[in-house]
Structure 1
Amino acid sequence: MIVTRFAPSPTGYLHIGGLRTALYSYLWAKRNNGKFLLRIEDTDLARNSKEAAEAIKEAFQWVGLDFEGEIVYQSERFDLYKSYVQKLLDAGKAYKCYMSKEELDQLREEQSARKERPRYDGRYRDFTGTPPKGVEPVIRIKAPTSGVISFVDGVKGEVSFNASDMLDDFIIARSDGTPTYNFVVVIDDALMGVNEVIRGDDHLSNTPKQIILYEALGFDVPKFYHVPMILNPEGKKLSKRDGAMDVMAYQKEGYLPETLLNFLIRLGWSHGDQEIFSMEEMIAFFDPSHINKSASAYNQEKLLWLNSHYIKEASYERLIEALRFFDVDLAPHPKKELLIDAVRDRAKTLVEFATMIRQIVDAPKTYDEKAIEKFLDTKAVEILSEYKNTLQNAPALEKAGEFETLTKNFLEERGLKLKDLAQAIRIAMVGNSISPSIFEVLEIIGFVHVIERIEALIIYKKGV
């Protein structure tokens, strides 16, 4: 059984690079009827944030990535880690290092003078003397001093590290007893049964250290897949301006979660020329061995295109629920389906969607002065006033077709074109000259309120 995991550190928000890693891990487990686990790596007690941990869970809930069992918190497992430190000490595979800060500083200066890479020189590796007083030791693993550490990465192929060049006896527990990142990751992955690790390639340099620890502890080494980074369009590290923001910020900006998942799966992976993927298709097609070896570029226009697609395809119920986040509740609206259909093809985000709906549902409190100046001169106001009188003398209209027929007859009788009236109606209905189909808007607003809004604009224009 394939077991994967996502293991973020709660020291900041969950960004889209992390979510992509989680998605890849989730899909690969689901495709193989395996398990996908969530672990919070919160051993850095000074930098951890409870808010960040909660935000990670919130993001998972929003995008719909479910995980097996309970969340594992490393901060609750310190006794376990200490027991494994002791096992390595007892087996002679780790040792106490009493190197003082002064010794370390002197070593660094000497190495720098010789233009050598800073590294621990192993001076306490086989120490049998009396421990110096006043120095709390760190615990170091006995790393190989020669040979090659190699593994086959599922993305990059065979990767090798020369032990003498890359490794020293690295620390597995600090002087205060707290374990280090690489040590706890190995123990947790092994004990949780994780046998395939999909993660960012910024972790590649950690892998040889972790392999040493797997072997020292007698654990099986998992299969690794190191995924290239997401870069901005200029090929540089992604910034907030480019989209490297809190996953939940995408909800605030009006993106659907299915949009974000579809967008992320295509950042570094493809299935032919297919662009749109349902979750079922993602699970059926995804294979981490097909992840691109090169970095992918963030494309804002692609994200907006996908979002507009999912808005167009979403059910009425789906959109009604999503719009509640933006304080728009269409559930009680008698013409909610007509209202959604009138707007959905014009909106790239739910923020735009909600704004356009409010403009139709709520009578304008202000008007676009540029639109009034351009489209509402004295002649246009006269035509609009006559149109209002015609409506008031007509039987109550209900359907868009009825408004359209009355309007065409009104214009033909006066030798006018729709352009002579349409923009003035739009300004009266929504406060500016941009709206969905004008006759659909009139049907949604309703006969009585249409007349009220036209009257309000005429009064406003006369008072200006």
Structure 2
Amino acid sequence: MLRIEDTDVARSTQDSVDQIIAAMNWLGLSYDEGPIYQMQRLHRYQAVVEQLIAEGTAYRCYATPEDLEAMREAQRARGEKTLYDRRWRPEPGKTLPAPPEGVKPVIRFANPVDGDVTWDDLVKGPITINNREIDDLIIVRQDGVPTYNFAVVVDDWDMRISHVFRGDEHVNNTPWQINIFKALEAPLPSFGHLPIILGDDGLKLSKRRGAVSVMDYAANGYLPEGMLNYLARLGWSHGDDELFSAEQMVSWFDGGHLSKSPAQWDPAKLDWVNGHYVKHIDEARLADLVVAQLARRGIAVGVDEVQPKVGLFKDRCATVAALADWLVMYFTPANPSADDLAAHVTDAVRPALKVLAERLAALTDWNKAAMQQALKETLSISGLKMPQLAVPVRVLVCGRAQTPPLDAVLEHFDKKKVLERLQVA
């Protein structure tokens, strides 16, 4: 079930929702129900709030922001923890003032004042927090919109959620939620709080510290199965297995083997995992993805032009974008660097390049075997070693000094294009 928790109106936008759904679709994380939007369930939250007020477990609070700040200042001055002082909470024998005119109330949950909240966390083990450490939570704002901690309890109750896995920054929210569940006499789900993910600098990942959108990884040539595989291993393990399919992930995951320590984002490990899938996915699909990558660079080519070439380069690539980087040379001018030209295309090798061009021009079959023979004849005539000839050819034809075996690379070029690029020498 996909639930969109959008009651924080300032932060929840349609664009952010669209990104969530696009990312889940890309990753293949399908859902059976939803999306369900909390802002479309306001009538349900209101009904539950009225129930809590009627039962005495919630109440209206008319304290203004100025009242609350003065209260906190006084508490700080006394060296106390800043907690709401329950001034508007109805209690036996307590007389409340008349509600002030023009002040819209918030609704607060009447949290138990004594006792402990204890749960057996699925990741961290037993956790106990005393009720004196938490105050009366606002569950409905002045504008009538419920807060996160209240809305998720009602949703989890209505939607029969059995397990809640979330980041450990939510540990402090859990006592409130458990107390609300109990006030509603609703069944408690099991809670598990997962450690945060650290960046490669050892600090918490954030948008300011290198974290990027899931769809940016898609745009940069990562495969959904590679990303899922890598993400699953951040904080979870299945023996020594590093590579596994989504089906295996579903089969193996039972809520156990979750790490209590923060995982560290490792771009090199992600590339290694993704490279495995680049090497092993169907080449027709791989070609489609390369075509899309080339289109992003303004290069319009067909799958039939790309597919014969992907097998030659895919073992060298961690991403589809890297594979597209290799194939660009077939569809754009070579543009070798001045340094490569000066270092490799020298007067000593130019005669051999002319001989090779003549041998290649004479070929009736444009294939690896014929090219290998042309290269051997050129080496025999020039007295050069293969690296002395192959590197200059790569620089002129491919625009780079390093490639897979030269005959296999040249085979995928148009014959006329190879001869034109060799003439530059």
**Alignment TM-score, normalising by the size of structure 2:** 0.94
Report the alpha carbon displacement of residue 420 of structure 1 after superposing the two structures with TM: 2.3
Q: Secondary structure at the match of 1:345?
A: helix
Q: How far apart are the structure 2 equivalents of 1:202 and 1:179?
A: 20
Report the alpha carbon displacement of residue 348 of structure 1 after superposing the two structures with TM: 1.8
What count of residue pairs does the alignment treat as equivalent? 416
Which residue is equivalent to 1:386? 355
User: Unaligned stretches of 5+ in structure 2?
Assistant: 296-300
Which residue is equivalent to 1:98? 62
1:48 to 12, 17, 20: 12
2:341 aligned partner, one-letter code:
I
Report the alpha carbon displacement of residue 321 of structure 1 after superposing the two structures with TM: 2.3
Report the alpha carbon displacement of residue 325 of structure 1 after superposing the two structures with TM: 2.7
Alignment of 1:5-404 (within 5 A): 37-126=1-90, 127-164=95-132, 166-240=133-207, 243-327=210-294, 329-333=301-305, 336-359=306-329, 361-392=330-361, 394-404=362-372
The 3 A distance-change label for structure 1 pair 242 and 254 is: farther
Which residue is equivalent to 1:416? 384
Q: How far apart are the structure 2 equivalents of 1:167 and 1:395?
A: 84
Q: How far apart are the structure 2 equivalents of 1:241 and 1:349?
A: 24
Q: How far apart are the structure 1 equivalents of 2:302 and 2:255?
A: 41
Deviations, residues 125-174 of structure 1 (Å, cap 9, x unaligned) = 1155532323221111111101001111111111111011x211111111
The 3 A distance-change label for structure 1 pair 352 and 172 is: same
The 3 A distance-change label for structure 1 pair 240 and 81 is: closer
Which residue is equivalent to 1:3? none
Which residue is equivalent to 1:12? none
The 3 A distance-change label for structure 1 pair 243 and 67 is: farther
Identity among equivalent pairs (%): 38
Q: How far apart are the structure 2 equivalents of 1:93 and 1:228?
A: 33
The 3 A distance-change label for structure 1 pair 210 and 412 is: same
Cα pair 2:220 2:319 within 8 Å, conserved: yes
The 3 A distance-change label for structure 1 pair 319 and 330 is: farther
Report the alpha carbon displacement of residue 364 of structure 1 after superposing the two structures with TM: 2.0
Higher relative contact order (CA 8 A, sep 6+): 1
Q: How far apart are the structure 2 equivalents of 1:422 and 1:362?
A: 21
Q: Secondary structure at the match of 1:378?
A: coil
Report the alpha carbon displacement of residue 69 of structure 1 after superposing the two structures with TM: 1.7
Deviations, residues 369-405 of structure 1 (Å, cap 9, x unaligned) = 111010011122222112212222x232322122112
Cα pair 1:397 1:447 within 8 Å, conserved: no
**Alignment TM-score, normalising by the size of structure 1:** 0.86
User: Unaligned stretches of 5+ in structure 1?
Assistant: 1-36, 459-464
Cα pair 1:231 1:238 within 8 Å, conserved: yes
Report the alpha carbon displacement of residue 194 of structure 1 after superposing the two structures with TM: 1.0
The 3 A distance-change label for structure 1 pair 241 and 330 is: farther
Report the alpha carbon displacement of residue 57 of structure 1 after superposing the two structures with TM: 0.5
Q: How far apart are the structure 1 equivalents of 2:96 and 2:207?
A: 53
Deviations, residues 56-95 of structure 1 (Å, cap 9, x unaligned) = 1100011110011220011111122111111111112111
The 3 A distance-change label for structure 1 pair 243 and 264 is: farther
- What is the Cα-based RMSD across aligned positions, in Å? 1.7
Report the alpha carbon displacement of residue 408 of structure 1 after superposing the two structures with TM: 0.7
1:115 aligned partner, one-letter code:
G
Q: Secondary structure at the match of 1:96?
A: strand
Is 1:440 the counterpart of 2:404? The answer is: no
1:65 aligned partner, one-letter code:
L
Q: How far apart are the structure 2 equivalents of 1:362 and 1:100?
A: 67
